[in-house]
């Protein structure tokens, strides 16, 4: 069985072999690849011959190369403008498909132009499989995430220079949503994990067969256990906060309520730093986005300058360590499908507070393995965090329950077996 993966990123396995910097996003792909490669000497490995196509802007040629038994194909794509469809990608995918001759083309995600190009080039819906990651259609609808109208309409020097204001960002997601609809209409098979993604994909293509399949997390998150005594007291961790959908502004609005009871409370945020100097050589006014300026205004208004630390982009091990030293993990997103950050926190047993958004209720049972608060309600967010800290014994029980649940949901053996079952089912069509 020959399977072609079409990925959104260069996988770390390829990047490490060439000394190239790589993204830590989509770590579950690495988890799945690691699991497949561990089967090299088994009958299962004989069933699967894998090739991986991945995007690159300039650093990789459009040839093919084998690394540790996996064939890799690069294709050039303007990753900075995923809303623009590039028809030339179709010819590249025809080359890849003619060279590898896959039985199944497995596209991970609907968010980028290459997903549509790959399916158009393959032209076999019954042998095409699309894995739902985010849902662009729903992201486009909710993108402004309750921001004041004035903020939504504001622009900065950076926004005008890049043609990337908040309104323009939302319009770009609307274009991506249109491509997403075309992707889903070109496939006969979909994998997903939540009621949210099942309903979203079915509303676009009710004829596609839906296969439930959970994701495998990055290997390092399967060991280690959160302990309250080792965590920084009253520390809050947010895994990302660089665009409105992630809800960083709700957490900042909740902080005055939290600080009244716990004056030592502190927020740590990973990912791109849009409120400070970071690693850029340009002054802040030249690279500040409207959303970044709004966050800075909230920090100033609520006197939070010494209460917020941006920790930057983290490796998998650094992310794990940050989870373990945090007293609560918060997912304040307005829309999510099944955020890997929540899965990783749950595996480690970190107390989790998450918004009632998208597929999150399929991951967490409120009052059992975490606390779910009303979406976009900063007062309810504050109440949930305070509840965790007021009742540390119960918070630890939530963490234990979450760890047990996540160990089943993200079990590498079960998920790998399920993937093979799906491939078998598609090949029998």
Asked if the domains 2-216+411-427 and 223-409 are classified in one and the same CATH topology, the answer is yes
**pTM for the whole structure:** 0.91
Domain boundaries, the chain: 2-216+411-427, 223-409
Looking at 271-393, which runs of residues are DSSP E strands? 308-312, 328-331, 352-355, 371-373
Residue indicated by tokens 């000497």: 41
Residue 403 reports pLDDT greater than 70? yes
pLDDT digits (tens, 9 = 90+) for 312-337: 999 889 999 999 999 999 999 999 99
Residue 351 has pLDDT above 70, yes or no: yes
What percent of the chain clears pLDDT 70, i.e. is strictly above it? 93
Q: For residues 284-299, give the mean pLDDT.
A: 89
Look at residues 193, 8, 191 and name the one whose alpha carbon lies nearest to residue 117.
8
* pLDDT band, very low/low/confident/very high, at 278 (cuts 50, 70, 90): low
SS3 186: coil
| pLDDT tens per residue, range 12-45 | 888 888 888 766 666 667 767 777 777 655 554 4
pLDDT at 283: 64
Q: What ranges in 101-210 are assigned the alpha helix state H?
A: 113-122, 136-142, 149-153, 157-162, 166-185, 195-204
Per-residue pLDDT reduced to its tens digit, 38-88: 765 555 445 788 999 999 866 566 778 888 888 999 999 988 888 999 899
Taking residues 115-124, report their average pLDDT.
97
Predicted pLDDT at 172: 96
299 within 8 A of 310, measured Cβ to Cβ: no
pLDDT of 145-170, one tens digit each?
A: 999 999 999 999 999 999 999 999 99
Topology of domain 223-409 in CATH is: Rossmann fold (3.40.50)
- pLDDT confidence of residue 45: 47
Q: How many CA atoms, within 13 angstroms, populate the side-chain half-sphere of residue 336?
A: 26
Residue 180 to residue 203: CA distance in whole angstroms: 12
Distance, C-alpha 250 to centroid of its chain: 20
Which CATH superfamily, name and number, covers 2-216+411-427? Glycogen Phosphorylase B; (3.40.50.2000)
């Amino acid at each position: 069985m020959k399977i072609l993966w079409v990925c959104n990123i260069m996988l770390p396995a390829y990047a490490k072999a060439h000394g190239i910097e790589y993204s830590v996003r989509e770590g579950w792909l690495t988890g799945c690849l690691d699991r497949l490669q561990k089967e090299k000497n088994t009958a299962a490995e004989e069933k699967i011959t894998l090739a991986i196509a991945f995007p690159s802007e300039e650093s990789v040629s459009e040839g093919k190369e084998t690394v540790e038994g996996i064939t890799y194909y690069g294709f050039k794509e303007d990753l900075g403008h995923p809303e623009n469809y590039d028809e030339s990608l179709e010819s590249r995918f025809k080359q890849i498909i003619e060279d590898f001759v896959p039985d199944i083309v497995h596209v991970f995600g609907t968010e980028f132009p290459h997903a549509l190009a790959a399916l158009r080039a393959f032209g076999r819906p019954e042998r095409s499989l699309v894995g739902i990651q985010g849902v662009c259609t729903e992201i486009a609808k909710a993108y402004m995430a309750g921001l004041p109208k004035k903020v939504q309409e504001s622009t900065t020097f950076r926004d005008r220079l890049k043609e990337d204001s908040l309104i323009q960002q939302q319009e770009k997601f609307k274009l991506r949503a249109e491509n997403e609809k075309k992707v889903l209409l070109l496939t006969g098979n979909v994998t997903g994990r939540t009621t949210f993604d099942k309903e979203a994909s079915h509303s676009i293509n009710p004829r596609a067969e839906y296969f439930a399949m959970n994701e495998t997390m990055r290997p390092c998150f399967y060991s280690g256990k959160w302990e309250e005594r080792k965590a920084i007291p009253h520390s809050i961790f947010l895994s990302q906060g660089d665009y409105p959908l992630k809800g960083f502004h709700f957490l900042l609005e909740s902080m005055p309520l939290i600080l009244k009871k716990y004056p030592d409370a502190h927020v740590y945020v990973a990912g791109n730093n849009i409120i400070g100097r970071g690693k850029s050589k340009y002054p802040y006014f030249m690279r500040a986005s409207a959303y970044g300026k709004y966050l800075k205004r909230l920090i100033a208004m609520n006197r939070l300058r010494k209460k917020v630390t941006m920790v930057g982009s983290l490796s998998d091990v650094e992310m794990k360590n940050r989870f373990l030293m945090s007293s609560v993990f918060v997912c304040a997103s307005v829309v999510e499908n099944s955020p890997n950050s929540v899965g990783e926190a749950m595996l480690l047993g970190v107390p989790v507070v998450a918004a009632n958004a998208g597929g999150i209720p399929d991951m967490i049972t409120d009052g059992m393995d975490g606390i779910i608060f009303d979406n976009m309600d900063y007062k309810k967010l504050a109440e949930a965090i305070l509840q965790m800290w007021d009742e540390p014994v119960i918070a630890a029980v939530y963490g234990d329950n979450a760890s047990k649940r996540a160990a089943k949901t993200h079990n590498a053996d079960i998920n790998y077996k399920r993937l093979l079952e799906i491939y078998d089912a598609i090949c029998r069509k």
